[in-house]
Amino acid sequence: MSKKFYKGALFFALAFASFFVQADFISVKSKQAILFEGPSNTTEKMFIVTEGYPLEVLVSLKDWKKVKDHNGKISWIEAKNTQDERTVLILKENTVIFNQANDKSHKLANVEKFVVLRLNSAMLIGEWAQVKTQIEGLVGFVNSKEVWGL
């Protein structure tokens, strides 16, 4: 086979594989954690985030993680203040948690904007994410378009 064929096949394989690459998310472990401008606590303090808040990891160093928040702001957080537990942030007022992965099923609860929910599985069912409320332990499904952290 020709070199042209192999180059084309390699390009197609890489493009296809990148389609399935998911973002790497973490959540805040501490009651409150500071997001810094750089990977040092001597740099400017940018924000304070609370327990459970999801962050997308862009770079991981030994003691620091470069992260992006739901607004697209990039900052750094000390790794000791994070955990691998996945959470999502509600982005829409009165987001409904449904019993099943469709909007025709029984409504379990309405959730306010900026509430954090635990993610039961990173696998979506169509456009639905299975979540668990942190206080009541209620398990259900939310539309993935209404949350951030997937």
pTM, two decimal places = 0.77
Position 13 pLDDT exceeds 50? no
- Amino acid occupying residue 69: D
Segment 80-87 shows an average pLDDT of 95
Three-state SS string over the chain comes to CCHHHHHHHHHHHHHHHHHCCCCCEEEECCCEEEEECCCCCCCCEEEEEECCCEEEEEEECCCEEEEECCCCCEEEEEHHHEECCCEEEECCCCEEEECCCCCCCCEEEEECCCCEEEECCCCCECCEEEEECCCCCCEEEEEHHHEECC
Which residue segments constitute the domains of the chain, with CATH numbers given?
Answer: 25-85 (2.30.30.40), 88-148 (2.30.30.40)
Summarize pLDDT for 18-51 with one digit per residue, the tens. 334 456 999 999 999 999 999 999 999 999 999 9
Q: Does the pLDDT at position 3 exceed 90?
A: no
Residue 97, Cβ neighbours under 10 Å: how many? 21
> pLDDT tens digits for 84-138?
999 999 999 999 999 999 999 999 999 999 999 999 888 889 999 999 988 788 8
Q: What is the pLDDT of residue 2?
A: 53
Query: How does the average pLDDT of the chain come out, rounded?
Result: 86
